[in-house]
Structure 1
Amino acid sequence: MLLWAAAVAQAVAQQEDTPEPFVFQVEDLSFGLPKADEPLELNTPRAALEAFLDAVEAGDGPRAAQALNLSSIPEEERESRAPTLALMLAFLLLNHQLIDWAQIPDQPDARVVPETDAAETPYRRRSIELGQLELDGRPVPISIQRFRAEDTEPVWLFSPFTVERTSRLYAASRPGMLSGWVPLEERLATLGRPSLREWLIVGGLLTICGLLWLLVYRGVRLLSRQVALYWAGWLRRLAFPLATVLAALTYRLVIDRLITLTGPVASNLGLASEVVGLLAGAWLLVRMVSGATLVLSERYVVPLSSDDPDNRRIKTNVYVVRRLTVVLIAVVSIGYVLLRLGLFETFGISVLASAGAIGVVVAIAAQPLLGNMVAGLQIALSDPVRIGDVVVFDGRWATVEDIAFAHTVLRTDTDTRLIVPHAEFLSRAVENWSKEGEAVRRIVKLPVDYRIDVDLVRQWVGEILDGDPRLTEAPTVEMVEVDCEVAVLWVWIGATTPLTSWTLHNEVREKLVSFVSEHEGGKFLPRKRYVSQRESV
């Protein structure tokens, strides 16, 4: 530590003994301006900025112009333009908050002394960049520099590069098409401060935006009465978010393009209008996506009675994409709102410091949700089931009614809804009856006495189903099982849809049981036989 302090002291002493200070040499520091009665204190960067802003606040533009290096301005224009350039530059500094007072040194040479653990030695500066503004797509540094004329003390002035571009930077800051009647001095006086003019303009603008919202809302609702019934409901759902977006956008455009207000009321309401407009825009986009997917579903998806599984595949993909799009819109909108509100900057350090622990907790807590989300995407991509498919899940006959973001909705034969998480749905066996089409073959199992004439049963089945339009193929009767007491016949029945096959095979079973019961007095009903043996005496 002692060696480091000695090195620093030696470096400082060597710089102080240097014959030429670390400055930019100029011929004259007055730049053709009349001599001021009360010169500004410009010996250090901090003193120069404070004196410059104090003169501007006092409304003394000519005195504030002493802090400008006017060498880049034509000599014949310097005296007339200097006060206005000083006010414009002050407006840019304050409006864009370019001055970080903690970084502005108060030494004449703007000396930088590194931290005690740094390896470099102290060094002087003759230029300090306060910030950058954009002009014609290129960054323009706003800087103050140290100048010295012969036989004078060095002073800190705004650089000629900055002064030359001040008027263009001010024009590029969009002061507003209708703000030309507001003097620059008044704009500076109300910068960051509430004023009566600001309250009146904001109140009138809010009233206009409110009337615009009501006009758009009523107009869309009236338009919904003039269109087809299908479009009417969709337009009514769009009325509120659409009116809100247009009203917020109008307020923002007027504030930015027509009347630029720099007070706290307008600034806060401008941010609020941006947030409201963004959220309403996200809501409107969600409604439009939902409407578009509904149109696609109704156009391309057919009822369960039609034999077109590709349409159900389209509906499934549309539903999954819609939900993913909605989530993406919500995440992006909320993230942008938090960014604009500055919450990321406020809590950024603390969040980063605890990111590891929070990440572990969130990962554990969200594991079921994330697993179901990934499983839902897998269902859409791998296509094991589609909306409208008839399936048998966990021994229950059901129709896939919806594939939500984290679960599948099954409508059972009792018209109840079975909610199955996607992960569980994929982890268990599912029997899909309409994977390749609506036509389904079902089996009627008929237990009879083994002496029955199978050809006679085939004749009965043919008579029952003769000319039935629900059939897709001729029925088949087979004896698949037999023992000493009973035989089991399988009657294969192909029907147009799963629901039709269910109804048809129940009807065939009922009529076959009736035939067997009545044929020859029920002789061929299944029966149990007992053999009795009597021992001889």
Structure 2
Amino acid sequence: MEKLNVLPWHEQALWLLGIFLGGLILGLAFYWIIKKILRVSHSELSKDLPRVKNPFVFVVIVLSLQLWPELYFESKTPFITQLSQIVNILAVTWLLIGMVKGIRDSIVRRYKQDVGSSLKLRKLFTQVRLFERIVIVIIVILAIALILMTFDSIRRVGVSILTSAGIAGVIIGLAAQRLIANLLAGFQLAITQPIRLGDVVIVEGEWGTIHEMTLTYVVVAIWDKRMLVVPSTYFIEKPFQNWTRKSGEMLGTVYLYVDYHLPLEPVRKELKRIVNDNPMWDGETANIQVTGSTEKAMEIRALIGADNANDAWNLRVHVREKLIEFLQKEFPEMLPKSRVTLEKDG
């Protein structure tokens, strides 16, 4: 049994508090010096440094506290040694996670300035976010493994588990089959990118945008503010519509049914006037075409362009409303009607 030195417990507590405060001050001082150096050198890293401030200071405090058992114990007890190892692992893990997030912010900010296309930026941001989560998961798993290895009893249990690894592997494999499939699908989505954050998609008949992507599931924000959670395997195994896969530009259509006697040229001019007054129009596509006919009316289609799916939807609604108002006012007799012809005998 290890014995404490002759110092009373309250003096040891004061020394421990002093070392803790000294480590805190030292960590903040180091952080401030590094930040000043980066700012003076105009380094972009100065903008990402706050990500690692707290874990960095914590690491310095932990290193400072390593002095306590050396000073006030005749030798380290097994408990103190193990506790010190666990705290060290947690401190380094926190620091590594902060560094990964700082690197992510640095990459996104740098390419945000260089890449003009929002499509390329969304593609990059999706990849960075997914790979960031992959790296963090690996770091956490390794940290948990290292912590468990500090327990001798668990080490011994591990040897016995390895002898039956074949049976355990089969059981775990069957139980985690769906989880593993989703994880692999998450990796595939990060690399091939059939979808990206911000893409407009139709999934299960629902129109929405990709709101969040993880390794196991994807969250689609539906237009009516609902959130549709879909497993990652869905986007690998099933067909879906991606309206912004190659470009954010969209074409919208408005169908109207009118009488055969309606002159089309005034309607074309009115469509031009409507879209010219609307900032959502892309300035290129706006025309009227006859796309169908029945025994009662002809079908005309207004084709309009917008920069993104949301603008295309709102522009379609606006154009439909204004064209109907135009027909009601200028050509009310050309709206669809049923005709009955009466003929006299003789």
TM-based fold match above 0.5: yes
Paired AA for residue 498 in structure 1 = A
Question: CA-to-partner distance for each residue in 1:323-346, whole Å, 9 max, x for gaps?
Answer: 001001011111112123235422
SS for the counterpart of 2:2 is coil
1: CA distance, partners of 2:136 / 2:146 = 15
Task: Tell me, in whole angstroms, the C-alpha distance in 1 between the residues paired with 2:53 and 2:8.
Answer: 29
| Aligned residue number for residue 196 of structure 1 | 4
Distance 2:144 2:7 in 1: 30
How much has 1:220 moved relative to structure 2?
8.5
Q: Is it true that 1:318 corresponds to 2:128 in the alignment? A: yes
Residue in structure 2 matched with residue 399 of structure 1 by the alignment = 209
> Is contact 2:271–2:286 with CA below 8 Å preserved after alignment?
yes
After superposition, the Cα gap between the structure-2 partners of 1:346 and 1:260, relative to the gap in structure 1 and judged at 3 Å, is: farther
From 290, 295, 319, give the equivalent of 1:484. 295
- Structure 1 residue aligned with 2:60: 246
TM-score normalized with structure 1 length: 0.55
**Is 1:495 matched with 2:306?**
yes
Secondary structure in 2 matching 1:197: coil
* One-letter amino acid of the structure 1 residue matched with residue 323 of structure 2: L
* TM-fit CA distance, 1:463: 2.5
Matched, 1:296 2:110: no
1:447 & 1:343 partners in 2: Cα distance? 80
Which of the numbers 247, 253, 260 marks the counterpart of 1:443? Answer: 253
What CA distance in whole angstroms lies between the structure 1 residues aligned with 2:64 and 2:24?
A: 13
Judge conservation of contact 2:250–2:309 (CA < 8 Å) in 1: yes
Question: What are structure 2's unaligned runs of at least 5 residues?
Answer: 40-44
What displacement does 1:507 show? 1.2
Greater radius of gyration (CA): 1
- 2-side partners of 1:249 and 1:322: how far apart? 27
Specify which structure has the higher proportion of helix.
Answer: 2
Contact 2:48 2:103 in 1 (8 A): no
CA distance in 1: counterparts of 2:233 and 2:81, whole angstroms: 45
Cross-structure match for 1:308: 118
CA distance in structure 2 between the aligned counterparts of 1:444 and 1:216, rounded to whole angstroms = 67
Structure 1 contact 398–412 (Cα < 8 Å) conserved: yes
Describe the shift of the 1:523–1:216 C-alpha distance in structure 2 as closer, same or farther (beyond 3 A): farther
Letter in 2 for 1:250: S
CA contact (8 A) 2:51 2:99 kept: no
Aligned equivalents of 2:220 and 2:231: distance in 1?
11
TM-score between both structures, scaled by the size of structure 2: 0.82
Residue 199 of structure 1: how far off its partner (Å): 7.7
Between 1 and 2, higher relative CO (CA 8 Å, sep ≥ 6) is seen in 2
Q: Distance in 1 between matches of 2:26 and 2:225?
A: 42
Q: CA deviation at 1:215?
A: 2.5
- What is the aligned partner in structure 1 of residue 161 from structure 2? 351
1:453-468 mapped onto 2 (5 Å cutoff): 453-466=263-276, 468=278
Q: Distance in 1 between matches of 2:258 and 2:189?
A: 44
Range moving further from structure 2, 308-317 or 394-403? 394-403
Contact conserved, 2:276 with 2:283, CA < 8 A, in 1? no
Q: Is contact 2:4–2:73 with CA below 8 Å preserved after alignment?
A: no
**Alignment of structure 1 residues 374-389 onto 2, 5 Å:** 374-389=184-199
Q: Which amino acid aligns with 1:519?
A: E
Q: AA paired with 1:403?
A: M
Q: Report how many residues are paired.
A: 336
- The answer (yes or no) to whether the contact 2:217–2:229 under 8 Å persists in 1 is yes
> What secondary structure does 1:490 align onto?
strand
Q: 1:310 aligns to what SS in structure 2?
A: helix
Tell me if the contact between 1:389 and 1:432 (Cα under 8 Å) persists in the aligned partners: yes
- Residues 125-178 of structure 1: CA deviation (Å, up to 9, x unaligned): xxxxxxxxxxxxxxxxxxxxxxxxxxxxxxxxxxxxxxxxxxxxxxxxxxxxxx
Equivalent-residue separation in structure 1 for 2:337 and 2:26 (angstroms): 80
Distance 2:284 2:272 in 1: 12
Partner of 1:101: none
Q: CA deviation at 1:432?
A: 1.9
Partner Cα separation in structure 2 for residue 482 and residue 531 of structure 1: 20
1:365 and 2:175 are equivalent in the alignment = yes
Q: Is the 8 A contact 1:220 1:235 kept in 2?
A: no
> Is the 8 Å Cα contact of residues 216 and 239 (structure 1) preserved in structure 2?
no
| In 1, Cα distance between equivalents of 2:130 and 2:6 | 49
Q: Flag the 1:464–1:207 CA change in 2: closer, same or farther, 3 A.
A: closer
- 2:318 corresponds to: 507
